[in-house]
Structure 1
Amino acid sequence: MSSRIEALMKALEKDPNNPLGLYGLALEFYKEGRYEDAIVYLKKYLSVYDDQGAAYRTLAQAYINIGDIEQAIETYERGIEQARKYNHPTMVEEFRQEIERLKSLL
């Protein structure tokens, strides 16, 4: 386990719902290819923080990496809702294109 992961986990022991810690830990797991762990922490992050859309991209990619295309599509759809809410039209279009690409794989 990397020292960054250890440090983030230790910080989360003190404040388990710290959005920055949850997101940071999820990203570290993702970078290490530990997609199931990344999914756990991204979902927890999204349960405590109103993300503007970027976390949904990472979560969807983690689902793709474990082969769960349907869950990736659902995640991108939720990301579109958030991106619209925060007026990120480029992200909306990016997610829409990804959904179309993924649907062609089903």
Structure 2
Amino acid sequence: MSDRINSLKKALEKDPNNPLGLYGLAMEYYKQGDYENAIIYLKKYLALHDDEGAGYRTLAQCYVNLGDYENAIEAYERGIEKATKYNHPTMVAEFQQEIEQLKSML
């Protein structure tokens, strides 16, 4: 386990609902290819923070890397809702394209 993961976990012991800490830890797991743990912390982050879409992209990519295309599509769909809410049309288009590619793989 990396020093970065250890320090983020220690910080989260003091403040387990810190959105930045949860997101940071999820991203560290993602970078290491530990998609299961990345999903755990991304879900906690998304439950606490009104993400604008990027968190849903990473969540979807975790599912894609695990071969779970249905959950990936759901994450992208939720990301579209948020990206629309925060007026990120290019992100909406990107997520729609990803959904179409994933549906063709089902």
Shorter chain as denominator, the TM-score bin is over 0.9
Task: Tell me which amino acid in the other structure corresponds to 2:75.
Answer: T
What pairs with 1:7-18 in structure 2 (closer than 5 Å)? Answer: 7-18=7-18
Corresponding position of 1:69? 69
Q: CA RMSD in A?
A: 0.3
Task: Tell me which amino acid in the other structure corresponds to 2:23.
Answer: Y
Task: Tell me which amino acid in the other structure corresponds to 1:71.
Answer: N
Q: Distance in 1 between matches of 2:4 and 2:26?
A: 11
Q: Distance in 2 between matches of 1:63 and 1:39?
A: 8
Q: Distance in 1 between matches of 2:11 and 2:65?
A: 27
Corresponding position of 2:53? 53
Task: Tell me which amino acid in the other structure corresponds to 2:94.
Answer: E
Q: Distance in 2 between matches of 1:21 and 1:12?
A: 6
Give the gaps of 5 or more residues in structure 1. Answer: none
Q: Distance in 2 between matches of 1:96 and 1:75?
A: 11
Corresponding position of 1:36? 36
Runs of 4+ in 1 over 3 A off after TM superposition: none
Instruction: Name the count of aligned residue pairs.
Output: 106
State TM-score, norm by structure 1: 1.00
Identity %: 75
